[in-house]
Structure 1
Amino acid sequence: MTRHRSVTRNLAVIGVASALAVVPAAAAVATQVAWGACPEDVVAEAAPSQLDCATVPVPVDYADPASSEIDIMISRLASKNPSKRRGILLLNPGGPGGSGLAFPAFLVARGLPASVTDSYDVIGMDTRGIGHSAPVSCGFTADGPYLGNIPPYAADDAAVVERAKVVKGVAEQCARNDRDGHLRHLTTANTARDLDRIRAALGEEKANFLGFSYGSALGAAYASLFPERADRIVLDR
């Protein structure tokens, strides 16, 4: 899993020029963030590091910003060297689907250097639909039939057709569990827009980003949607 990669490997800053065919993003609205204690499960996972947590409201549907909102929970490992601080570093551990609130502590435990933790407030988060951020569940179980849309070893067309029956059942199961209508809004583009809401809520003109695996796709989406607000973007496949 991506979390087990070494953070000491060489990382390259990648410039992203690709455009996304998405609904234009509304201007992010500044919000005052009230930092406080993290949920108990995050505290336990982050120990011995101590993190602060807060929530940032975002629209469920960016095409209709006046619609209902959900709260995105974020965490912070604050810089202890204000003279060296140059901003925020947003994190995504990959997946998608896993919690990222304790991820700043995970990286520190694996050697994230002081040059990074001095320079940035390191920001973890549960992205929309995950953990403490308006979670959405399809009701999957470990012994269920769903492993992926395509069989891992499709011997012939019949194997793909057979798998399609399972996938259709999974889609119907997800629809039955999506009581609030949030599932359709769990997109990479919307999550990238959430990142910019977090940037604005923290009072920063620009955001830095470090993403692993799927997080590299999210970082690319953010840099494409908000090139003028993206500072240092590090993408690790």
Structure 2
Amino acid sequence: MPDGRKIDIALSRQKATDPARRKGVVLLNPGGPGQSGIHEPRWITDSKAAGIGVDHDLIGFDPRGVDYSANVACPSLPGDDAEPLASLPDKEKARFVFERDAKVNQRCVAAHPEFVRNLTTENVARDMDRIREALSEEKIGFYGVFWGTALGAAYRTAFDSRVDRMLLDSVMAPIFDVGAMDDATNTARR
């Protein structure tokens, strides 16, 4: 909404190590949803993917509602960080953590219902295009992991002509279902 709440999106930028060969920018997303990406440029340069930083500026950002980008401050209560008893079976530990986190999340949503409704993949994709505009880039590259793959797909769907290159790593299912993702992760670990 043009007349709605305004938020700042936090960015970090690591310039291309060979400025003479610079081809543009690559926005980075580590996954989540809800993970900070502000430190991604530094982590990428310490990884096997460091080569993308030779001729591209690496852009990290915190998606809306995360850390430095209008983090959702949730009321805290005693027990919010309680840990399950070590003697419990793994399944009961998982249930304890799930129920604890669900209570915190419900309280958080109740405190900020309108803002939380706007924490969507599509809105973060729109924020990415505003980042592109702020950087005065005609097109952007993108590297996303897990939920970042859904974010990349949403950006490409909405702004296809503004995409230079895109790498989607550890692609998540097209339907965002946290329970199904957890089940798939647990199945893969067996």
Tell me the equivalent position of 1:208.
141
- Establish whether residue 119 from structure 1 lines up as the match of residue 55 from structure 2: yes
Contact 2:44–2:50 (Cα < 8 Å) also in 1: no
Tell me the equivalent position of 1:9.
none
Matching residue within 65, 73, 92 for 1:129: 65
Assess, with a 3 A threshold, how the Cα gap between structure 1 residues 226 and 172 changes in structure 2: closer, same or farther: same
Alignment-mate amino acid for residue 28 of structure 2:
L
Alignment-mate amino acid for residue 232 of structure 1:
R
* Residues 87-116 of structure 1 deviation map (CA, whole Å, 9 limit, x = unaligned): 0000000011121111111111123334x2
Partners of 1:175 and 1:215 in 2: CA distance: 23
5+ residue gaps, structure 2: 85-89, 171-190
Tell me the equivalent position of 1:27.
none
Report the 3-state secondary structure (helix = DSSP H, G, I; strand = E; otherwise coil) of the residue aligned with 2:7.
strand
Assess, with a 3 A threshold, how the Cα gap between structure 1 residues 112 and 71 changes in structure 2: closer, same or farther: same
Assess, with a 3 A threshold, how the Cα gap between structure 1 residues 139 and 95 changes in structure 2: closer, same or farther: farther
Alignment-mate amino acid for residue 116 of structure 2:
L
Post-superposition shift, 1:67? 2.3
Partners of 2:140 and 2:11 in 1: CA distance: 14
Matching residue within 162, 165, 172 for 1:229: 162
Question: What does residue range 4-15 of structure 1 map to in structure 2 within 5 Å?
Answer: none
Report the 3-state secondary structure (helix = DSSP H, G, I; strand = E; otherwise coil) of the residue aligned with 1:67.
coil
Partners of 1:236 and 1:198 in 2: CA distance: 22
Assess, with a 3 A threshold, how the Cα gap between structure 1 residues 75 and 171 changes in structure 2: closer, same or farther: closer
Partners of 2:35 and 2:10 in 1: CA distance: 13
* Residues 41-86 of structure 1 deviation map (CA, whole Å, 9 limit, x = unaligned): xxxxxxxxxxxxxxxxxxxxxxx22323100000000113222111
- Establish whether residue 143 from structure 1 lines up as the match of residue 82 from structure 2: yes
Tell me the equivalent position of 1:97.
34
Matching residue within 20, 24, 45 for 1:87: 24
Post-superposition shift, 1:117? 1.2
Cα RMSD after superposing both structures? 2.7
Contact 2:75–2:108 (Cα < 8 Å) also in 1: yes
Compare relative contact order (CA 8 Å, sep 6+) and give the higher one, 1 or 2: 1
5+ residue gaps, structure 1: 1-63, 146-151, 154-158
Alignment-mate amino acid for residue 73 of structure 1:
A
Equivalent residue pairs, number: 158
Assess, with a 3 A threshold, how the Cα gap between structure 1 residues 120 and 187 changes in structure 2: closer, same or farther: same
- Establish whether residue 69 from structure 1 lines up as the match of residue 9 from structure 2: no
Tell me the equivalent position of 1:173.
107
Tell me the equivalent position of 1:23.
none
Alignment-mate amino acid for residue 199 of structure 1:
R
Partners of 1:171 and 1:77 in 2: CA distance: 34
Partners of 1:139 and 1:103 in 2: CA distance: 29
Q: Which one is further off, 74-83 or 187-196? A: 74-83
Post-superposition shift, 1:139? 4.6
Post-superposition shift, 1:170? 5.0
Post-superposition shift, 1:175? 3.2
Post-superposition shift, 1:144? 7.4
Q: Which one is further off, 79-88 or 198-207? A: 79-88
Partners of 1:172 and 1:92 in 2: CA distance: 26
Alignment-mate amino acid for residue 32 of structure 2:
G
* Residues 107-145 of structure 1 deviation map (CA, whole Å, 9 limit, x = unaligned): 11123334x212101000111001111001445733279
